[in-house]
Structure formats: structure tokens, C-alpha cells
Structure 1
Amino acid sequence: MAVEVKMNFEKLQTDLENQELEAPGGVASFQVYGQLLGLYLLHNDTCNAKFLWKRIPQTIKSANPELASIWIIGQKMWQRDYPGVYETVKKEWSEPIKPVMMALFEAARKRAFELVALAYSSINADELSLFVGLPVNDAVKAAVAEGWEADAQTRFLIPKRKVPPPCHAPPSEHQLAVLTDYVSFLEN
């Protein structure tokens, strides 16, 4: 599921937030709520998605089942149910929502690869497949393309470790001077 249309999602999100704020009577359209909810999920902002869901009027929620489907994705993201996220995102979406959901699908997969790389020293290909929402062979190919090592006999993959940026600790004299200044300030 590749993103066919390149969109400026940050600008779209800002525009939609403004539309919601400026909506007559404080109630925006289904399209505004649906796209905004999807964009919050795309940016992994489940807190704002949850608050948006709570402030959408019940009449709009019940009249548009697609909103409930988007929120189900949010719930699955909150619960870290990655297979559930992929399964729900794969459904058919209306035209205004479709590009956001396609981008969400790819972003969720990318985040899953990053989380696995951080959390595992090695992972079974079947488990990786569930995490990233791909068939086993495609998950292995994608991991290898990311620089992971694959063992065909054991079907285990070893994630490529990202090297953290070097931490530049301030000189100990500087730390001591800052601490002295702080304590002196507190004593005054």
C-alpha cells in the first residue's frame, strides 16, 4: 500500500484545526473530523486523537460509521495492537480520507520496524511479520533492505542497531561551577 499522492500533511492538519475552530456553532463537518482524526493518528498523536474523538458530536459520529472505523485504529494504536491497526487500515476509505489512511499504514509500519530494532536483539521472522503487517517473506526482505541480518536456518533476524549520537558531557569543572551557583542562589 504505497502513498500515491504526496501531500503536505502538516499544513493540512493546521488547516483542519483552524476549520474546526472556525466552524459555525463549533461543529465542523464529517470530512474535517475524519481527516483530522486520521492525521493525529498518522503523527502518532493518540492523545489529541482521543480528545478530538471526545469532542465530536454524537450525531456526527452515528451518521458517519467511517469515523468509528478511524477511531478503532486509534484504539488499536493505543493498545499497541499492530496487526489490528494494519487490518483496520486496509479497508476501503472515502476519497478525502484515503490518502491519510495510506500514509498512516506506511508510518505505522515504519514505526513498528523502529520499535522492533530498539526492543529486540533478534526476532523470529513470523513475529516480525505480525509487527510490520507484511507476509513473512516480504517482512524479511524489508528488514534485510534496512540492513538487518537474516539467518535462513533459524528464521531469526538481527536488527541493525542505530548508533546513538555522541553525548558530550560538560567538563566536570563546569558542572561543579553550575552546581555551586545553584546552591548559592538557593541559600540567598
Structure 2
Amino acid sequence: ESQELDAPNGVPSDVVYEKLLSIYLFQNDIVSAKLLWKRIPTSVKQQNQELERIWKLGRQLWQRDRAAVFLSLNTMQWRPTVAPIMLALTESYRERSVHLISEAYCSIGLDEIGKLLGLNQEQLRHKINTLGWQIDEASEMVLPKPIPKEKAEHMSSEKQLQRLTQYVSFLEIGL
């Protein structure tokens, strides 16, 4: 963010935009990513295909299309500047999906869970085994077990104020 603000002529390089947009997606801060996308000059967007691909992923995250998100993350070749961020995003998004599945389903089809986690059959079976979930081979259904939630961390007053400010800003913008 500071590189964006300190850029000469007020327009940072496209690499700065790529990294910042990727980091916002990794932090699951979709609102900030959307506002950044609106702030990026049109000329920069048109000249940079990587930026367009990152934002395509952002739109998929915004729409909560998990299958499309993993398809994009698994098939796109990212530049070295954002590849580590995208790898971290893949893992964190997969873990969030695992927690969501464990809370929302008592049984789910093997193919469906594969799409939701972006894994092929071999990887999926390994992941299911490491989680201690059961697979009913006859019906090809997965029986997820709830994953215990970690104890909520205590938020500082500054962090609470920052979160409240973000919510109010979001409501005022009317996104």
C-alpha cells in the first residue's frame, strides 16, 4: 500500500498493483480488492494481462464460485512476483473450504467435494484420510466430521475499531 501511495506521478508499476491485488485476495479482503481494481488506471489494466487474470479470480471469489476459483488457481501460470501469494491463497482457501464442508455437510458426493476443494481423486482421497473423514465406497459419499474450532483470539481495541471502520466504510460506499 505504501508503494502505491509513494509512487512517482501517483501511478505505481503494474507489479505493485499485481502484488497488492493478490495480497488482498489472500487476506480475503475482497472489498479492498474491488476498490483497488476500480482505482487502477484503465491504461494499466489494458496493458497487463496478469492483472486481468488476478481480477478474474477476484470476481470468482466475490461470487463464491469455489469450483471456478480452484480451476483458476490450479490451471493458471502466475508470474514469479505473485506465484508465492497465489500458492498461499490456494492453501488457505482450501482450508477454509474444508472447515465450511465440515460444518455444512453430514454427507457429500466424492465428485462434489473434489470440485469444492480443487483436488483430483488421488489428492482428494489422501486429504479425506488425513482429516479422518470416512468414504462410503458403495455410494461414493464422503461423511465429513466436524472440525473443532480454535479458540477465538482476543482482539485489541484498535483491531476492533479498524474492523468496525471497514464495515461502516463498506456500508457508506453501498457496494
SS at structure 2 position matched to 1:157: strand
Q: Which residue of 2 aligns with 1:121?
A: 106
CA distance in 1, matches of 2:150, 2:107: 23
Q: Is the 8 A contact 2:99 2:147 kept in 1?
A: no
> How big is each residue's C-alpha offset from its partner over 1:121-175, in whole Å with a ceiling of 9 and x where there is no partner?
1111110001001113321320221121222222111212134579xxxxxxxxx
CA distance in 2, matches of 1:40, 1:64: 18
Structure 1 counterpart of 2:91, which letter?
E
Q: Which residue of 1 aligns with 2:168?
A: none
Q: Work out which of the residue numbers 88, 100, 125 in structure 2 matches 1:103.
A: 88
Structure 2 counterpart of 1:107, which letter?
S
Structure 2 counterpart of 1:137, which letter?
E
CA distance in 2, matches of 1:70, 1:46: 12
Q: How many residues align?
A: 151
Residue identity (%): 39
Q: Work out which of the residue numbers 45, 62, 74 in structure 1 matches 2:29.
A: 45
Name the Cα RMSD after superposition: 1.8
Q: TM-score, normalised by structure 1?
A: 0.74
CA distance in 1, matches of 2:150, 2:143: 21
After the TM superposition, which residues 31-70 of structure 1 pair with which residues of structure 2 at under 5 Å, given as runs?
31-70=15-54
> How big is each residue's C-alpha offset from its partner over 1:28-56, in whole Å with a ceiling of 9 and x where there is no partner?
11111001111111111111111111101
After the TM superposition, which residues 1-188 of structure 1 pair with which residues of structure 2 at under 5 Å, given as runs?
17-89=1-73, 90-164=75-149
Q: TM-score, normalised by structure 2?
A: 0.80
CA distance in 2, matches of 1:46, 1:65: 20
- From the superposition, tell whether residues 57 and 127 of structure 1 become closer, same or farther in structure 2 (CA, over 3 Å): same
Structure 1 counterpart of 2:87, which letter?
M
Flag structure 2 segments of 5+ consecutive residues without an equivalent: 152-175
SS at structure 2 position matched to 1:113: helix
CA distance in 2, matches of 1:48, 1:137: 36
Structure 1 counterpart of 2:113, which letter?
L
Structure 2 counterpart of 1:29, which letter?
S
Based on CA coordinates, which of the two structures has the bigger radius of gyration? 1
Q: Is the 8 A contact 2:133 2:144 kept in 1?
A: yes
